[in-house]
Amino acid sequence: MAGHAAGERFLLIEEERLAEPFAGQGSGEIGGGLRLAAIGIGDAEPVEAMLTVSGEAVTPAAPVHVRAVSDGIGGWNLSWTRRSRNGWRWISGADVPLGEESERYELRVLSGESLLRRVETTSPAWAYDAAATAEDGGGMVTVEIRQIGSFALGRPGRIDLAL
């Protein structure tokens, strides 16, 4: 309160009146429109507003520090560092809390806009072996890595590889 002046306008939000906006939807989808209505003590009619909710708060952050190391026989060993939407501090050198029901990733190997391969893994590493790289035809590819969240698929971490 010290940073506010006497008589300055404010909005009081009562915690017991807050609700998860999609709890009643039952569709399992995140995002959409929400109509809000608020009424104050001196108001005769509620003030209404439409809000677009994107679901960004429940979307996992993109993996970082994506690395690819040649296995020496035509394949690649990929690794990355996950991030969490539930904790950003490095507590005693331990990993940040997962923030999802399980640790899972979706990897997509793309040649331009064409999807060559899609795999899932449960650890922050994947072996793109020589047989798979040969099957994918050589040339430049982009590998996108997304964490599979409890509510949404995360933003991608990317790395380009020359097969």
| pLDDT greater at residue 78 or residue 30 | 78
Mean pLDDT across 44-58: 82
Query: Which residues on adjacent β-strands are paired with residue 106?
Result: 120, 146
Q: What is the pLDDT of residue 18?
A: 67
Checking if the pLDDT of 14 tops 70, the result is yes
Query: 41-44 long-range CB contacts below 8 Å, 24 or more apart?
Result: none
Q: What residue spans define the domains of the chain?
A: 15-57, 64-162
The Cα-based distances of 45 to 19, 41, 42, 50, 88 in angstroms read 21, 10, 9, 16, 42
Q: Which CATH architecture has domain 64-162?
A: Sandwich (2.60)
Answer whether 107's CB lies under 8 Å from 126's CB. Answer: yes
Closest CA to 109 of 121, 96, 91: 121
- Tell me what the mean pLDDT of segment 14-25 comes to: 63
Q: What is the pLDDT of residues 105-130, one digit of tens each?
A: 999 999 999 999 999 999 999 999 99
Residue 154: partners with Cβ closer than 8 Å, 6 or more residues away = 59, 60, 61, 62, 63, 146, 147, 148
Q: In what order do the strands lie in the sheet with 105-111?
A: 114-121, 105-111, 140-147, 157-162
Residue 43 φ/ψ region, left for φ over 0, alpha for ψ in the -120 to 50 degree band, beta for the rest: beta
pLDDT of residue 27: 46
DSSP class of residue 85 equals S
Strands 105-111 and 140-147: antiparallel
Q: How far apart are CA 162 and CA 64, in angstroms?
A: 20
